[in-house]
Amino acid sequence: MITREMRRLSSFDANFLYLESPTSHMHVGSLAIFDPSTAEGAWGVERVRDIYTDRIHLVPQFRRRLAEVPLQLDHPHWVDDPEFDLGWHIRHIAVPAPGGPDELAALAGELMSTQLDRSRPLWEVWVIDGVTGGRFAVLTKAHHAAMDGMAGVQMVSSMFDLTPEVEPAPPAPPWAPDRVPGDLEMLARAAGSMAVQPLRTVRAIRRGTHALRMRRRIIQEEGRGSLAETLPAGAPNVSFSAPLTPERSFAFRTLSLTKAKAVKNATGTTVNDVILATCGGGLARYLEARGERVDGSLVAMVPMSVRGDDAAAADANKLMNMFIRLGTDLPDPRDRLASIAEQTASGKAQLRGGEGDPVRELSDFAPATLTAHMFRFIASHHLAERVTPLFNLTMSNLAGSPTPLFLGGALLVANYPLAPIYDGNGLNITVLSYLDQLDVGIVTCPQLSPDAAELPADLESALDELVSLTA
Catalytic residues: 144
Contact predicate 232/425, CB 8 Å = no
Cα separation, 454 vs 54, in Å, equals: 41
Identify the sign of the CA torsion 259, 260, 261, 262. positive
On the question of a cis peptide bond just before residue 98, with omega within 30 degrees of 0, the verdict is yes
Per DSSP bridges, beta strands 135-143 and 27-35 are antiparallel
Cβ neighbors of 386 (< 8 A, separation 6 or more) are none
Going across the sheet that includes 90-94, the strands are 90-94, 123-131, 135-143, 27-35, 410-418, 406-407
Q: How far apart are CA 249 and CA 270, in angstroms?
A: 30
In total, the chain counts a number of residues equal to: 471
Closest CA to 129 of 165, 104, 166: 104
CA distance 101 to 94: 14
User: In which order are the strands placed within the sheet that holds 437-444?
Assistant: 249-256, 437-444, 427-434, 393-398, 299-305, 319-325
Can you list the pairs that 40-43 forms with residues at least 24 positions away whose Cβ atoms lie under 8 Å?
40/164, 40/409, 43/136, 43/408, 43/409, 43/410
364, 201 contact by CB (below 8 A): yes
Using alpha carbons, select from 319, 320, 219, 343 the residue that is nearest to residue 270: 343
